[in-house]
Amino acid sequence: MSEISLNNVCKSFGGVQVIDGISLDIESGELVVFLGPSGSGKSTLLRMIAGLETIDEGELTIGGKRSEHLAPGQRDVAMVFQNYALYPHMSVRENMAFGLKNIRMPKDEIERRVNDAARILEMDALLDRRPAQLSGGQRQRVAIGRAIVKEPAAFLFDEPLSNLDAALRVRTRVELAELHQRMQSTMIYVTHDQTEAMTLADRIIILNDCQIEQIGTPMDVYLYPNSRFVAGFVGSPGMNFLQAELSGTAGKQQAKLGDGSQIELSVDLGPGAYELGIRPEAVRVSATPAATTGTATVVERLGERTLVHLRLEDGTELIAQDGGHSEVKPGDLVHLTFDTSQLHLFDDKGRAHHAK
C-alpha cells in the first residue's frame, strides 16, 4: 500500500497561514499534480508530506501508517528537488548509491538497485560519468535515479523540470510519464506549469490562497472549472472573460455582451449581470456575417492553428481561433461565432455555472 491521506492539515509561518485545513486522498499508484501560482502553498504541502516542514495541525497517513510525527527518513518517501544536488566529484553510480551506503545496505543489494534504476531510466552507459559530463536532462535523471534506488512507497517531485530549457523540458516530461507507466508508483508532482499538469496528471489538485480550489482529472478542470480562478488559471491561452447581462427564462435565455451582441444559451441562472467565460477554441472566425464582430489587433500563426487577438466595439478584448491557413491580418474586421456548449457564467462570488 502506498496511498497518502491528509486530514485537515494546517501550517503557519509566524502569523501567516500558508496551508489552511486541507484534506485529500491520493490513491496507490496515482500520479497527482499540485498546481497553483507562486505562494499558493503547493511546495509547502509537498514538504509537509516529506517531513521537511512540520504539520501544525491535522493528520498525515502514508501507506496506512500515521506519519505526521515521523522523521523524514521514516516516512518511506523519496523527494526529487528542482536543484539536482549531485556530488560533482562522484560518478553517476556513486551519486545514486550514496544514500544506500549511508544506511549500510549490503553492497550486492546496492549494486542491484543502482543497475535496476539505470535500466529503468535508460542510462546504463552513463554510470561511470561525473555530473559535469552530463546534460541538464541527464543530471535530472540521475536525481530521479537516486530516488528510485530507495524503493519508496511514494515519489515527491518539486518542480523538477524548471531548470531545463523548453525543448529538454518537453522530452523529460515524456520520460517522466513513461517512468510512471513502467513503475506504477504513487507520485506527487508540484508545478506552476499547467502544460506539465495537463499532460502528466491522473488528477490535478489546484491550490489557491492556502486552500484547494478544485480536484479533478485534467479535462474535468479544463472543461468544467468550478470557479473563475480555475477558469482563468488553467488553459493556454487563458479563457476569455466578457461582461454579460443575462435575460429570459430557463431554456430560452440570452446573454447580452457589452457591444450589444446577444448569445443564446441555456443555464440554470436567473437574470442579472454575470461574467461570461469562453475559451479561445470555442470562439471561431466566421467567413460569413455574424452577430459579433471585432477588429484584429494581433495574429499569432502557430502552424496548425492561428490565434487572433481582437477588440470588440465596446473595447473588450478577446482571443479567437482560426485555421492554420488563416488569412486574417491585423486591422481586419472579423466575424465571430461562439460554441454555446462551451460557455460558462460566473456570478459575483466567482462560482462557475456551465451552459447545458
CA distance 341 to 339: 6
Pairing between β-strand 4-13 and β-strand 57-62 as defined by DSSP bridges: antiparallel
Query: Which residue range is the domain that position 322 belongs to?
Result: 240-354
Please tell me the distance from the alpha carbon of residue 286 to that of residue 327, in angstroms, as a whole number. 12
Domain boundary among 185, 201, 226: 226
- Give the chain's mean pLDDT: 91
Q: Rounded CA gap, 111 and 150, in Å?
A: 12
Q: What is the CATH number of the domain that holds 86?
A: 3.40.50.300
Cis peptide before 131 (omega within 30 of 0): no
Q: What is the CATH number of the domain that holds 259?
A: 2.40.50.140
* Structural domain includes residue 235: no
Does residue 234 lie in a domain region?
no
231 Cβ neighbours under 8 A, 6+ residues apart: 225, 239, 241, 277, 344, 346, 352
Task: Specify whether 176 is located in the same domain as 266.
Answer: no
Residue range 324-345, pLDDT digits in tens: 999 999 999 999 999 988 999 9
- Average pLDDT over every residue of 67-93: 90
Domain end residue (candidates: 226, 253, 288): 226
Q: What is the pLDDT of residues 207-245, one digit of tens each?
A: 998 899 999 999 999 999 999 999 999 998 999 999 999
Q: What is the pLDDT of residue 290?
A: 84
| pLDDT tops 80 at residue 251 | no
Same-domain pairing of 167 and 247: no
pLDDT tier for residue 351 given thresholds of 50, 70 and 90: very high
One domain, residues 104 and 127? yes
* Most distant CA pair in the chain, distance: 76
- Based on the domain organization, do 258 and 290 belong to the same domain? yes
Is the domain of 80 the same as that of 198? yes
Query: Which of 159, 154, 176, 180 has its CA nearest to residue 40?
Result: 159
pLDDT reported for residue 15 = 85
Q: What is the pLDDT of residue 206?
A: 96
Q: Report, as an integer, the average pLDDT of 57-85.
A: 90
- Count the domains in the chain: 2
Considering 192, 226, 260, which residue would you say is the last residue of a domain? 226
Closest CA to 336 of 244, 257, 274, 225: 257
- How does residue 81 score in pLDDT terms, banded at 50, 70 and 90? confident
Q: Do 98 and 142 sit in the same domain of this protein?
A: yes
* Residue 231 lies inside a defined structural domain of this protein: no
Which tens digits make up the pLDDT trace of 261-315?
888 888 888 899 999 999 999 999 998 888 799 999 999 999 999 999 999 999 9
pLDDT (0 to 100) of residue 1 = 57
Mean pLDDT to the nearest integer, 164-178: 83
Over residues 24-34, the pLDDT tens digits come to 999 999 999 99
